[in-house]
Amino acid sequence: MRSCKHMKIVFVVLLSAIISSVTLCKVPYDQFKHLMNNSIVERLFHEEPCACMERCLAASDDEWFTERFRQNVPPLLSLNNSVLPDNIYTWWQSLQSKSQANYSQVIQELFSVIPGEGHYRDAGPSRCRTCAVVGNSGNLVGSFYGPLIDSHDFVMRMNKGPVEGYEKDVGSRTTHRIMYPESATHLDNTTHLVLLPFKILDIQWVTSALTDGTVKRTRYKVIDKLQANKDKVMVIHPAFMHYVHTTWLHIKSRRSYPSTGFLVLMFALHICDEVNVFGFGANSKGTWHHYFEKMPKSFKRTGKHSGGIEHQTILELQERQLISVYRGW
């Protein structure tokens, strides 16, 4: 985290000296007024949305962005925000097979195992949280982005994308691993597990996987006992998923839903001040594959995800200098 607090104190001292000089030397008022209108003075004496110097998402006045960005939509579930409006619950249930489970009870059981307080609602002038969103694209191969990725405050990875053996290209740090039951992998004690719940059973699974291991199948057989730090587990809010689906992608079909990568990018936009994206899209030859797999012979389709819309939205975010996208070599 970076802070402007000490800089402001120093500047106040300097400003006092300048005012004394103005008084003693009788500097013309117009010149002094010009000095006081300087952008540096304005930046230091008016509260900034964040402490980042190069880019601050919260400071953006881009009309295209502000029409879509909803700061009031909670990215993560907590005990205080878990009630779902009927339209969002219906949409969420439509993504997968419906469940007869009692949602309220499932939530109570979840927060008897993991922390129930809110997270990352601490945006303000003293915070500069830099985040690397690391996808699994083959365009990372030979990129040597590892040190750059590791330099961020948060390093977000998704699903089973490995680190060991690929450090020079993908980095070695992982602060958040976003996954769903079918893509789950064991974590060390320092990494946040961030669950993407596409159905109630997914929430039941994470509660079970951290305790007695009774849920052994979702769509198919899954890890029943997961190695992860319970105190670092978080769950993406279904209302946040719905918001991305409708506001950012304008998807009308109920059966379609955003990809994991796009949801993670949106998650980062809401909890970070500066976002840099790695490992998204095709490689330089136009081939879509994972950096840890052999080069495929054919194009990989995106299934129920709106890949084209997501791709265009990411390009738009980059062109408007709201994010930086690193495309590899």
- Catalytic residue set: 257, 305
Beta-bridge mates of residue 176 = 156, 192
Q: Which spans in the chain are helix H?
A: 5-25, 29-36, 39-45, 63-68, 86-94, 103-110, 146-150, 167-170, 200-209, 238-243, 260-271, 307-319
Whole-number CA gyration radius for the chain:
23
CA distance linking residue 167 with residue 42, whole number of Å: 42
Contact 183, 159 (CB under 8 A): yes
Contact 170, 145 (CB under 8 A): yes
What is the residue-wise DSSP string for 163-222? -TT-HHHH-S--SEEEE-GGG-----TTSEEEE--SSHHHHHHHHHHTTT----BSSSB-
Contact 154, 175 (CB under 8 A): yes
CA distance linking residue 19 with residue 233, whole number of Å: 53
Tokens 């669950």 appear where?
195
Dihedral angle computed from the Cα positions of residues 239, 62, 260 and 123, in that order, rounded to the nearest 10 degrees: -60
CA-closest candidate to residue 141, choices 120, 161, 119: 161
